[in-house]
Structure 1
Amino acid sequence: MAKTQLNVRVDEGTAQAARERALARGVSVNRYIEELVQRDAAEVGRSFVDAAADFMKSYASVFAEELDAAGAGERDPGTGAGSPPAA
């Protein structure tokens, strides 16, 4: 994958901490920062999935009722979904 240079200004204490942690892990400062950002991005993704799962659990009964209604031949006024009424 192509690399892009990113210049970041941080205070000396933060820079020194990054150098020390990278050294302790046996990686470059660049790799250390890259891993931190990737880990943070993954956490955001996990948070989104967790929130979506909580939403689905909270509204599972509402979804089930809607699906049951659609399966029983009722039309959804918003989409027109469902079976047409028997003639």
Structure 2
Amino acid sequence: MAKTQLNVRVDEATAETARERASQRGISVNRYIEELVQQDEGENGRAFVQAAADFMRRYEQVFEEEFGGRSDGPR
């Protein structure tokens, strides 16, 4: 996958923490930040799926009443 450069500004304490955490894991700060973003993206995806499932559970009866008798699509 192609890489692109991203410049960010953080306070020195945050930068030092990032350096320490990356070092503890034996990875670069770049890789550490990349992993944090990927983890966050995954958590957002899981949160969306959970919210959609909760919505469907909550409104399942309404959908069943409105669309339950139709045979024009997958169930």
TM class by shorter chain equals 0.7 to 0.9
RMSD: 1.5
Partner SS, residue 38 of structure 1: helix
Q: Tell me, yes or no, if structure 1 residue 26 matches structure 2 residue 37.
A: no
Closer/same/farther in 2, CA of residues 18 and 69 from structure 1, 3 Å limit: same
What's the TM-score once normalised by structure 1's chain length? 0.76
One-letter amino acid of the counterpart of residue 23, structure 2 = L
- The alpha carbon displacement at 1:70 in A equals 3.7
In 1, distance between residues paired with 2:27 and 2:68? 56
Q: From the two aligned structures, give the one with the greater helix fraction.
A: 2
What's the TM-score once normalised by structure 2's chain length? 0.88
In 2, distance between residues paired with 1:24 and 1:13? 16
Q: Which residue of 2 aligns with 1:84?
A: none
Show structure 1 runs of 5+ residues with no match.
72-80, 82-87
Structure with higher RCO (Cα < 8 A, 6+ apart): 2
Tell me which stretches of 4 or more aligned residues in structure 1 moved more than 2 Å: 67-71
Partner SS, residue 7 of structure 1: coil
- The alpha carbon displacement at 1:68 in A equals 3.3
Show structure 2 runs of 5+ residues with no match.
none
Structure whose CA Rg is larger: 1
1:31-77 per-residue CA deviation (whole Å, 9 max, x = no partner) reads 00000001011111111110000000001111111233446xxxxxx
